[in-house]
Chain A
């Protein structure tokens, strides 16, 4: 499961299809299983399961506007999930995407409210690049701590989350505060810096296309490029990597910087595409949900697109459920948790492949 093997020259299309089919089957079965259990759970809690699922799924994808809202939510989830696929493939347990998102959002805002003299398109590029670089740097910080001081990145990334979130609070109450506003928030980005929308009248903007491109790029990087190969080797067997002259430290840094960079980009896109200004709780936990997105996708960036959308549906649906079916949001979290658990269980089941004879 953990390996997307190099494609055979023999009948590549057929092979790829059957492989992809098999690989996709388990997570899909797992999600269906989880939804089944969820329905049961809802029923036991006195809700009419069919109605609830109806509201949740159909409500989330019933018309153009709600589909656009789902994709809007999916954009940061996909970006973060894709980045975490890279980190997890390198066995770097980056729990800090949330902080990296804040770092990216802050840097993007700082660039957005300054440099007004630049042409708009260049300014937008600068905003996105600044967000990515800040996220990458925030991630690389944890990477450096791990490489030079053997500090567990699980601990350091979690702690860096708090630092990034508090730094953002400081920025919007201090240096970046909009002098005209009484709330702790930054000034609004100029209108020509907003990411172009392409499905009027919805809010859907080009961020989703960037996320899709990132997923494809990350897939090519991991499974078709030399650099990505090195990242995977380090993740699977650092000892063999060292013997082969593949630097463990360099690849650890690269993997966490890529994952931080994509989280930072997600933050920048939230600023330039959705909120247009920075405030304290800019992320409703996308950084943590991204971990689930990557896990559900089995650390495959292409599958992360699908799992990102699924989590966005659950998220949108949860709002609708609360409103129209009065289902408490905690139950939606339970459903999300069930999805992850059953995917983990199904993939463990599938991992029992042939053993070596001898």
Chain B
């Protein structure tokens, strides 16, 4: 839109070091009031750190912040809230064992907060959620919400607190295209309300669509700033990576071979004991990548967990290389040629406090070459870890650093590297590129395609349609625990896919059938 009148926020020469790592090195940005400002950069470029400094979570080593012309020195996120600055973090800051309304109460700085009535809060939540078209149930427990729903709760929470400057850390990473469109529209509306939005992203198409201005960070510095209309995705990508990015992936060379993995009429329940997967059947052949698209919370997580032996199938069979593996424990399944890249790797795929070395052997800690006679074989573990790190260009302080010191993208690269190193026949991937940057995405996507060309069978569950279109041979659509359609990876059918994902296609068919039934009923009368 228009170039901002006066800057509402200036961050000047912000520096922040963690040990030997300079997360921010004299980074400066300037944001105008009522502007949508995009901050892009690879993982580890320092975007989140810069924003955490803005929101009072971290304190800068040097530099200053001017907010509405006044110097801003924040000691805590609470103070940021008081200055009407709010942030939606990449890892949600919600208490899972409380309801949505209780979480909102929890986030208030008011000393009277224990006296607040959640019903009043619920009313205000409902009002806000209507106004911005963000669906949120105030009385739902956060632990029961899907990732996408939790994010809606987070965004609304910031609005609830009356924020004027809203920071969103990769908000679209977990959303479907429809939800993304709605979010981007919401950002526009907020800007029209003279609210200022900073959003961190590495999805350049979204940046181009919605932002007024954009800054690129690399290695802790702001290396590029421009009005969005004066730049283009190619330039932004080059600035982010510091070199030209090849945009094409290896060609499909696959001709599917024999069946590796098959699922027949699988049923299973979620943590609440409710049916989550309701009669799913499919087969995957050698050299084939099957995608499962769907809005998060439609049974994909449970499907992945059931296939990995983490939750029991209440009905149906699962076969790997002809052998029935339904009913086997996760331990037994891990000894078969199956690898699993789980959803939310930081929670399910790694042990954050342990070093890379000990995370490299998570499934093979008791087997050769990593263990001999029950004792860990340090040398073998180290050289294996070193190889993983080098092969996938994992940026790290060394293989003895705790894995939580790595950025999200580098953790994901490490997990992908570890799983592929197990030489599986069948690979379950749940969210391959969620929350990771272009360079890392490209690398892991290429790695998955290489596996396909090595005749592996791959199941790719994803909410990122771009990823599905780029990688899959067929896309299955999951809705309400069932597979409701199958499409070729043809971008021209995006709309159809969206309808299937939201269940509208089914509703429409039901409606048509009902109407047809009524009409024919009329006719016979």
Residues of A in contact with B (beta carbons under 8 Å apart): 2-3, 5-9, 220, 224-227, 229-230, 232-233, 236-237, 239-247, 353-358
Q: Say whether B114 faces chain A, with CB atoms less than 8 Å apart.
A: no
Contact between chains at A230 and B365 (CB < 8 Å): yes
Q: B379 to A9, Cβ gap below 8 A?
A: yes
The reply to whether B308 and A243 contact each other, CB–CB distance below 8 Å, is yes
Shortest CB–CB separation between residue B387 and chain A, in angstroms? Answer: 14
In the complex, whether B119 has a CB less than 8 A from a CB of chain A is: no
Q: How would residues 6 to 27 of chain B score, 1 for a CB under 8 Å from any chain A CB and 0 otherwise? A: 0000000000001111010000
Q: Mark B381-399, 1 if CB is under 8 A from A, else 0.
A: 1100000000000000100
Instruction: Give the interface segment out of B173-181, B370-378, B499-507.
Output: B370-378
Would you list the 10 A-B pairs with minimal beta carbon distance, nearest first?
A245-B334, A357-B23, A354-B18, A226-B366, A354-B19, A245-B331, A358-B407, A244-B362, A358-B48, A226-B371
A226 to B363, CA, bound (A): 11
Asked if residues A6 and B381 are in contact (CB atoms below 8 Å), the reply is yes
Q: List 15 A-B pairs, Cβ < 8 Å.
A: A3-B354, A6-B358, A7-B378, A8-B400, A224-B376, A225-B375, A233-B358, A240-B349, A240-B362, A243-B308, A243-B342, A245-B329, A245-B334, A354-B20, A356-B406
Taking a contact as CB atoms under 8 Å apart, the answer to whether A357 and B362 are in contact is no
Residues of A within 8 A of B371 (CB): 226
Partner of B310, one of A225, A242, A356: A242
B169 to chain A, nearest CB (A): 9
- Contact, CB under 8 Å: A358 / B381: no
Q: A240-B351, A244-B363 are in contact. Are A357 and B44 (CB under 8 A)?
A: yes
Query: Roughly how many angstroms separate A186 CA and B173 CA in the complex, as a whole number?
Result: 70
In the complex, how many angstroms separate the beta carbon of B129 from the nearest chain A beta carbon? 30
Q: Given A7-B378, A357-B407, A358-B408 in contact, is the A245-B335 Cβ separation under 8 Å?
A: yes
Are A356 and B358 touching (Cβ within 8 A)? no
A356 CB, nearest partner CB in chain B, Å: 5
The 8 A CB mask of B433-454 against A (1 = contact, 0 = none) is 0000000000000000000000
A220: which B residues are within 8 A, CB to CB? 375
Alpha-carbon gap, A215 to B75, bound state (A): 44
B348 contacts the other chain (Cβ, under 8 Å)? yes
Task: Please measure, in the bound complex, the distance between the C-alpha atom of A239 and the C-alpha atom of B96, giving whole angstroms.
Answer: 16
Q: Which one of A8, A232, A246 lies within 8 Å of B354 (CB-CB)? A: A232
Name B218-268 residues within 8 Å CB distance of A.
220
Count class of interface residues, chain B: 35 or more
> Which chain B residues border A8 with CB–CB below 8 Å?
382, 400
Known contacts A232-B351, A240-B348, A240-B362; 6 additional CB pairs below 8 A are A5-B354, A6-B357, A225-B375, A245-B329, A355-B49, A358-B48
A244–B334 Cα distance when bound, in Å, is 7
Q: B340 within 8 Å of A by Cβ?
A: yes
A358 and B49 form a contact (CB under 8 A): yes
- Expressed in whole angstroms, the minimum distance between the Cβ of B311 and any Cβ of chain A is 10
Q: Does B352 contact A (CB under 8 A)?
A: yes
CA distance A355 to B376 in the complex (A): 28
- From 31 to 53 in chain B, residues with beta carbon under 8 angstroms from any chain A beta carbon are 43-49
Q: Is the CB of B351 within 8 A of A6?
A: no
Query: Given the interface contacts A358-B43, A358-B48, does A5 sit within 8 Å of B375 by beta carbon?
Result: no
CA distance A289 to B342 in the complex (A): 42
CB within 8 A of B400: which of A6, A224, A232, A245? A6
Cβ of A358: which chain B residues have Cβ within 8 Å of it? Answer: 43-49, 407-409
B241 to chain A, nearest CB (A): 16
Instruction: Report which residue of A5, A227, A245 has the largest number of chain B beta carbons within 10 angstroms of its beta carbon.
Output: A245
Q: How far is the CB of A254 from chain B (nearest CB, A)?
A: 13
- Report how far A247 CA is from B333 CA in the complex, Å: 12
A233 contacts which chain B residues (CB < 8 A)?
351, 354, 358, 362, 365
- B340-368 interface code vs A (CB 8 A; 1 in, 0 out): 10100001111111110110011101100
Closest to B370 in A: A226
The answer to whether A247 and B329 touch (CB under 8 A), given A3-B355, A224-B376, A226-B375, is: yes
Please tell me if the beta carbons of A236 and B353 are within 8 angstroms of each other in the complex: yes
Interchain CB contact under 8 A, A229 and B358:
yes
With an 8 A cutoff between CB atoms, is B108 at the interface?
no
Given known contacts A357-B23, A358-B44, is B400 in contact with A242 (CB within 8 Å)? no
Cα(A242)–Cα(B305), bound, Å: 10
By the criterion CB–CB under 8 Å, are B348 and A357 in contact? no
Residues of A within 8 A of B220 (CB): 357
Query: Does B118 lie at the interface of the complex (its beta carbon under 8 Å from any beta carbon of A)?
Result: no
Determine whether B330 belongs to the interface, using a CB cutoff of 8 Å to chain A: yes
A81: min CB distance to chain B, Å: 22
The verdict on A226 contacting B374 (CB below 8 Å), with A240-B362, A244-B363, A357-B220 known, is: yes
Residue numbers in B under 8 Å from A237 (CB-CB): 347, 350-352
Of all chain B residues, the one with the shortest Cβ separation from A19 is B400
Q: How far is the CA of A244 from the CA of B335 in the complex (A)?
A: 10
Residue of B21, B366, B376, B382 near A9 (CB, 8 A) is B382
B residues less than 8 Å from A246 (CB atoms): 331, 362, 365
Residue B314 at the chain A interface, CB threshold 8 Å: no
Is B281 interfacial (CB 8 A cutoff)? Answer: no
Which residues of chain B have C-beta atoms less than 8 A from A357's C-beta?
Answer: 18, 21, 23, 44-46, 48-49, 220, 407
- Measured between alpha carbons, how far is A226 from B331 in the docked complex, in Å? 15
